[in-house]
Every structure is written in structure tokens, then in C-alpha cells.
Chains A and B, each alone.
Chain A
Amino acid sequence: MKLLILSGLILTIVFTTISNDYVYGQFSNQNTLKVSFENNLLPSYEIPLTSGQTFTLTQNHSWVQDETSRYNLASYTLDGESVKISRTARGDFTLTIPTDSSHSVVFTAVPQYALSVEGTNDFSYLPSSPTNDNWFDAGTSVSVNIQKTTEIEPNKVRQEVTGWSLDKAEFWEIEDEGSTSFTTPPIVLDEYHQIDFFTAYQYKLNVISDSGETTGSGWYEQGVTVPIGVDAGGDGLVINSVSGWEGADVTYDGNTAQVFIDGPVTVSAKVEENYSLVAGVIIIPILIVGFIGFRKFKSRVPPVVEEKPVERIVEKVIEKVDEPEKKYEDGYDQKLSEYLSEQIKSKLDEMNSSKIISDSKYSTVKEKI
């Protein structure tokens, strides 16, 4: 009997121990983490939590929706308490989950579309992307701000943005309104968009002169012909006049000058001092007065010498005032410039007749000379 009671007691103890272990084991395996996504953006799943161990939940910040859109994590709800997520484009979001009991996490993500910008590197988005890249939440209106001018070579070559297009379908010119920047109208990001900016090189034309005010200096696009000039002025009775221009590609016909822009260029006016007014206003009257005085004096003195020395002196003085006779012909610059134009045209003619350049291009290029 004692043996039976002892056996029963041992069995009870053993059963109780097993039963307790089973209950403990069943309790530790029942703790779970249920992960789901608002609007079922991704499939839900459940993970068993092991009590006493740390569990870290990992989720990508962004995942692809289709070829031109993606989803980006914005917030999560842990057991009903909503928490915002610091927005970023790449990497994983991690969350440490307590394992003492079961939990549920619901992620909220927003659809995003990319806005690509081509043609310039000097731009910014208004407003900036919530993920600090070129992706924006669906429905956001975004403008692109650019610097219109990029300096390539200081004071010589620059790049100017002249127009832009949206999705290569609509094109707009950018007017020169004196502003250094340009901002596109807001673009609603309800799909992928691409903005292309079109640029043109501009070259600096410097018109310089030792005296007077010059006109024509500035930035110009390649291929244009720019009229230039100088108001040479003067110094009292000495009048300054332009005798020619120095520098590449200047066409000067004696009155007007123009420069063909084919790169950064500096042209200088050759200014000469003209003393003819000095001669006309001062020297000649003095000589005439002197001559008249001498005639009066001569009328009182019997003529001894047949020669007229004063007249000769006047002639000599006038000769001195006049420009000395030049050995070289004037206007050589102009002649060489004309020769240059002829040679360029003859080369283009040759290329056209050799079928190197089409008739339509030949006509266009010829106009640019």
C-alpha cells in the first residue's frame, strides 16, 4: 500500500513538472509579432517572438511599385500608437520589439514619383524632396529653380539656359528678363516627369579704346554679328578719329564696324589725333594775319625781291600741318579682311560643289559669314 501511495505521489510530481514545462513552453511560443501594411501595400506576415530575446524588425525604407514609382515609409503604428518615421530614400528601417507579449505593427507608406532634370547641374527643387533626392510624394507640386548662367571660362565663355521642356513634349523659351535664375511653374507629381533645359554658349566681346566711349561690349551667342563703335571724342581742338580696328573678325568699311562672334574676342579701336582743326582755327589765321601785315609792310617798301617768301612760308607751314605722305597704302586691314571672307566663301562653294555640304546647309552657313 505504501508502495502504491509513494508511486502515486512520484507520478503526480512528475506529471505536474511536465505539465508546468509544457504550459511555460506553450506560453513562450504564443507571443507573436504581426506586421501589416496600410492599404495592403505589401503582404502581411506574423513572426513568433521568443521571450527573453531581443527581436529587431527590419523593413526597407523604399520599395518599387512599378517602373516609374515607388513606395516610401512614412510612419508606423505599434499596438495602436502611431509614430512618424524619419524619411529617407535608401536603407532599412529597424524597430526593436519587446518580446514579453504579442504585438502588431502597421506600416504606412506613400507613393512617390521621380522628377528628373537634364541639361544643368546647378538646380534645386522647390520644395525639396522629403527623401532628399529627386522623388516626391504623389500629388506634390514641385518647381525647379536653376541658375541661368554658368561660367565656363571667367569673363570669356559662359553657358546660358535658353529654354526648357517637360517630358520632351512641350517646349518653352526662357526670356532674358535680367534675372540670374529661372523657376519653372509648379509640376504636379502624379506620374514620372522629366525636365530638360537647353543651353547655348555665349562669348564675351570686349570693345576697348585708348580714348572715348565704346559700344558693343557684352555677351553674345556664337554666330551673331555685332555692331561696335567708339565715340573717340577729342581734346580741345584736337579731334580724335577712328582709323581702324584691331582684333579678329572685325569688318570695318571706314564708317561702321562689326564683329563676328566665334569665341571670346577683344577688339580695340585705333584712334588717331586729328590736328586739322588746330591748323584751321589757330595757325592759318595767324599766318594770314602775318601775310596781310607783311603785304602792308611791303607796300611801304619798294619791291626789291621778286620772290614771295611769306607765301612760300605759308605753303611750307601748311605742308607741315598736313599729314606726311605715306609710303604704304591705307586700309590694308580691310582688304585682308575682305580677302578672308572671299576665301571662306570659296571653301564653302567648293564643299557644296563636291557634295560635302547640302544645298540647304550651304545657304544657311553662307548667311553666317
Chain B
Amino acid sequence: MLSEEDLIARIMKVKELKENCFKYLEESSNALLTQKILFAIAELTADEMGPVKLSQIAKKTTGENDKLKQDLVRLTIEKSLLKCGLAEKLKYASNDVRYILTAYRFQKIKEIDSFRGESSQPIGDVFELPKNTWPISDEFYLLLGKKHGYEQSLKKLHSDYDSDEIPRGKYETLNSDYKKSLDQINEKLDSKYSGLEALVVSES
């Protein structure tokens, strides 16, 4: 299985895609099986927190996972997603092959071939898959919730103390305890999930 760090790295990465591959992400392709598979892999990976099997993808995209459907999904993955580098195939054992997306945020690019050599030029904004399909652990969301909770509780504590609703001793004890907890949460967010909070919350 992949580590949490590996999954986070896939979220943080912005993958450049040529127009012929970026099309699979666009609204106009929402009826294509390729896009359905892409989103299915993302959603299943978020639930499993790791690469997913062909049978699971087939079941989610077609409602069935018999051999025929699995072959159809496998061929589609190989011809489009693997070829474009949108997904990768991981072989854990001879009978255990799983798929995972290479990134969750994508930049459409146009390749320019000039006398200076080949270069690429970004087109439009970065496209990101829905945040609720990102493979992020429960712990991270819990930390975000707690961070907000402790921040608000500290505000209330200060306000109640200013209104003389609690004695000084109790205020100082609670203030110290809550601050300590908030510091621990921030420390964990900054170390284990560095950069992810800004991506998930601030830009939402």
C-alpha cells in the first residue's frame, strides 16, 4: 500500500497535460467512460486510502464487474489514462494489479516548437478534481475541525473572562490548556500535512 505521504504528494503536485489528454477532464467529456473511470478511481482511492482494483472500478463505473466489463474498463484505462499519465498501474502480485491517479490537480499546456527548442505554455487555470475525492486521512479533517474548535473556544474564554463570568485562576488554567492543545494541532498540521491545509481550506 502507498504511504500517506505519497498520497499527499499526489495532491500537492500539479500535473501538466497536453490538450489531447486534458480533454478527459473537461465538462464536455462527462459522458465519456474515461472521465467516469477517472472520477471513480479518485473516489475509490479516497475511501480506500490506496490504489484500487479493476473489479472495484468496473463496478463503480458500469454497475457490474464481470470479465467483459473489467476488460472494457482495463482497455479504456490503458488506452487513455495510462497513456496520458493520468493514472498509473501498480502490480503488487501476479494476480493483484491496482490503479491510482498520478495527480489531482492539472494544468492544461500547449507545446510550442520554435527555433529555440521545445517549450510549453500554460492555458487557463489549474483544474482540480473535487476536494471530496482527494485521498486525505480522517485525522486531517479531525485536526481541521479541532483547530477551528479550539480557536473559537479560546475566543469565548477571553470574552467570558472580560465579562467577569469566570475567576482569574480558572481562566488561566483553561487558557493554558486550550492554547497547548491548539499548538499541538498546529504543529501536526504543519509537519505531517504541510501545505495541505492551505490547499484544502483557504482556496476552497
Contact = CB atoms under 8 A, between A and B. Distances in A.
A85 to B, nearest CB: 36
Given A169-B93, A356-B200, A358-B132, A348 B174 contact: no
B93 A168 contact: yes
Contact of B141 (A222, A262, A333, A365): A365
Contacts of A343: 148-149, 152-153
Contact of B149 (A169, A263, A341): A341
Given A169-B93, A246-B177, A263-B184, A357 B150 contact: no
Contacts of B178: 248, 336, 340
Interface in B27-60: 43, 46-47
A336 B93 contact: no
B115 to A, nearest CB: 45
Contacts of B23: none
B156 A339 contact: yes
Nearest to B147: A347
Interface in A313-361: 327-329, 332-333, 336, 339-348, 351, 354-361
A216 interface: no
Interface residues of A, number: 41
A247 interface: yes
B177 A368 contact: no
B63 interface: no
A96 interface: no
Interface residues of B, number: 43
A365 B145 contact: yes
Contacts of B180: 248
B149 A344 contact: yes
B67 interface: no
Contact of B165 (A262, A329, A342, A357): A329
Nearest to B47: A360
Nearest to A326: B167
A332 B165 contact: yes
Interface in B162-195: 165-167, 170, 173-174, 177-178, 180-181, 184-185, 188
A227 interface: no
Interface string A5-35: 0000000000000000000000000000000
Interface of A: 167-169, 222-223, 246-249, 262-263, 327-329, 332-333, 336, 339-348, 351, 354-362, 364-365, 368-369
Pick the 3 closest A-B CB pairs, nearest first.
A344-B149, A347-B148, A343-B149
Given A246-B177, A332-B166, A358-B133, 16 more contacts: A168-B96, A248-B180, A249-B181, A262-B181, A263-B184, A328-B167, A336-B156, A340-B153, A341-B149, A347-B144, A351-B141, A356-B132, A356-B201, A358-B47, A361-B47, A365-B142
